């Protein structure tokens, strides 16, 4: 019964955290990029890169605090600041690594390309998103694992748990973004993305929540 309560709290916290945190991150990033478009060349690209990474603190803070609320009664040795810092560190690293390739490619372009951009088939996009999610899950969870291992022996399962969770979660986000763009209207697009991010957080939380329950049992022993 206790394990079920932990899991339900965790799934709900992740669903709400991703909907609010990642939703605000997307919104602020879009507005910031629109403003930075007026900056010339490399200055604008570098400004956009650092802005995108820093804006990731929004998602890290919201998700980290909601996760802590869900887990705290069963992980009393972990403080709110420790979990927030672990979540923040992983998120900033993940955002940095995520935006770095496209930034470097853009900086390396000597002249604007006139060749049309050919988008891959949807199934390839989703497959690539799954691979990206697995890698992002490892990066996101590493600092959290450093926090967990201080009080729980054999907490290493937390990293593969997040890799598995985001393997399924990231394609949902990519699918939602494509769906929102197809709608072509601002308000319906926002509502679609809110629902998609809520679903993503629930799916991700449901998967690594199973592992969290096992860690909570170890903590109680």
pLDDT tens digits along 88-121: 999 999 999 988 887 888 777 644 554 555 678 8
Residue 48 and residue 38 in contact, taking contact as beta carbons nearer than 8 Å: no
Q: Identify the residue with better confidence: 10 or 100.
A: 10
List, for residues 128-172, the tens digit of each pLDDT value: 999 999 999 999 999 999 999 988 888 999 999 999 999 999 999
The domain ranges of the chain are 2-109+121-220
Across the range 198-220, mean pLDDT stands at 93
Give the least confident one: 11-25, 93-107, 119-133, 196-210. 93-107
pLDDT of residue 175: 95
pLDDT of residue 109: 67
Residue that the structure tokens 């709400």 belong to? 16
Residue 194 and residue 19 in contact, taking contact as beta carbons nearer than 8 Å: yes
pLDDT of residue 111: 47
d(C-alpha 108, C-alpha 151), whole Å? 46
pLDDT of residue 119: 73
Residue 130 and residue 164 in contact, taking contact as beta carbons nearer than 8 Å: no
Residue 146 and residue 184 in contact, taking contact as beta carbons nearer than 8 Å: no
């Amino acid at each position: 019964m206790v394990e079920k309560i932990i899991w339900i709290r965790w799934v709900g916290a992740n669903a709400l955290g991703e909907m609010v945190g990642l939703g605000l991150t997307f919104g602020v990033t879009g507005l910031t990029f629109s403003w930075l478009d007026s900056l010339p060349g490399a200055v604008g690209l570098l400004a956009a890169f650092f802005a995108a990474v820093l804006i990731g603190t929004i998602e890290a803070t919201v998700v980290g605090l909601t996760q802590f609320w869900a887990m705290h009664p069963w992980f009393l040795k972990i403080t709110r600041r420790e979990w927030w810092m672990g979540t923040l560190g992983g998120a900033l690293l993940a955002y940095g690594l995520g935006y770095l390739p496209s930034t470097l490619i853009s900086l390396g372009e000597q002249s604007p390309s006139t060749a049309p951009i050919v988008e891959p088939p949807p199934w390839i996009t989703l497959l690539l998103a799954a691979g990206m999610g697995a890698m992002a899950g490892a990066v996101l969870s590493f600092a959290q694992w450093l926090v967990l291992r201080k009080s729980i022996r054999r907490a290493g399962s937390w990293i593969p748990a997040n890799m598995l969770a985001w393997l399924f979660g990231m394609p949902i986000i990519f699918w939602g973004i494509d769906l929102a763009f197809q709608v072509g209207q601002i308000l319906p697009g926002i509502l679609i993305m809110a629902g998609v991010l809520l679903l993503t957080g629930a799916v991700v939380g449901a998967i690594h929540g199973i592992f969290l329950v096992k860690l909570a049992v170890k903590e109680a022993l």
